[in-house]
Amino acid sequence: MTDTALSIVGGLLFVAGAAFLLLGGLGLVRMPDLFNRIQAGTKTTTLGTLLTLAGAACLQPDWSLKLLLIGLFVLLTNPISSQVLARAAHRMGLEKSQLTMVDHLAEDTGERS
Amino acid sequence: MADLLVYVAATLTSLAFLLALYRFFKGPSAADRVVAYDVLTIIAITGIVLIALAEGRGIYLDVALVYALLSFLGVIVVARYLERGL
Amino acid sequence: MSTLLTAMTVVLCIAILVAAIVSIQVKGDKSMSIAILAAGLVSLLASVLFLILAAPDVAMTEAAIGGGLTTFLFFFVLARMRNGEREYEEANHD
């Protein structure tokens, strides 16, 4: 790897993405209940993975098409899996944190049934 | 310079991996472990990209694509099972 | 860059051991599904290990068979077993 400006930018993007991944892992350990963990775990890691893939595309410009495909796939599938998981956890009836103020899904299903 | 930045990024990614692994080991409920599984596989995609950069072989990125597909499938299947059973 | 690969191998080995231990000795509610999920995680991490050993085709096969197909098959069978038990109990109550 030569030290061109593009490779420096790619390395910085890579470090930024890895920092977001670290924040996601930290949130996964520190957050009080499951729904906060889903928030911290999936949103942060989506952004971190996208930044990482962008950094790799800057470091190796030949791979950018394949990296774009992976990024598109992560961007499409990761929110779906987090939403399905949150709905499953809500239907399992897991206890929420004491700090939870509002739960619209419980209100909606409670009014209907 | 770029090599140094890639090393720093690899260190941060490994730390994130170990933190998610702690949640997978500890996790009080089943859904906590599923979230940790999701995060672990997403971080492993970054790990595969790092390996491809270190070896300089673009063919390794195909494995990352298959990996993303299969981790998504696993999370969907286990969430459906926990919800009411496939 | 070989230092990076060595460090990543160590982290992956620790992760595989932890996932195997979780798969063996998980207790409590829904423990069977977590055991299956942890076994799938062992396969997925082993595929990254194969990739470090410069075998991308083996890694792809391991991820597809071990991580995808086996996990899906186990959950399918588990769901069928649970439905079968429910039908059996309902038939006996009536």
Chain A: give the shortest CA distance to residue B37, in Å.
10
For residue range A25-80, list pLDDT tens digits in order: 999 999 888 888 898 888 999 999 999 999 999 988 888 899 999 999 999 999 99
Q: What is the pLDDT of residue A3?
A: 66
Interface test with B, best of C10, C53, C72, C76 (most B CBs within 10 A): C72
Residues with pLDDT less than 70, chain B: 85-86
Q: Which residue of B has its CA nearest to C60?
A: B63
CB contact under 8 A, A69 and B65: yes
For residue range C29-85, list pLDDT tens digits in order: 778 888 999 999 999 999 999 999 999 999 999 989 988 899 999 988 888 887 777
CB contact under 8 A, B58 and A60: yes
Domain span at residue A53?
5-112
> What are the residue ranges of helices labelled H in chain C?
2-25, 31-52, 56-62, 70-93
Q: Which chains touch B (3 or more CB pairs under 8 A)?
A: A, C
Contact by Cβ (8 Å): C59, C48: yes
Chain C: give the shortest CA distance to residue B74, in Å.
7
**ipTM here:** 0.89
Contact by Cβ (8 Å): B74, C68: yes
Indicate if the alpha-carbon torsion angle A38, A41, A44, A47 is positive or negative: negative
Q: Where are the domains of chain C?
A: 2-93
Q: Where are the domains of chain B?
A: 2-83
CB contact under 8 A, B24 and C56: no
| B49-B54-B58 Cα angle (round to 5) | 55
Chain A: give the shortest CA distance to residue B51, in Å.
11
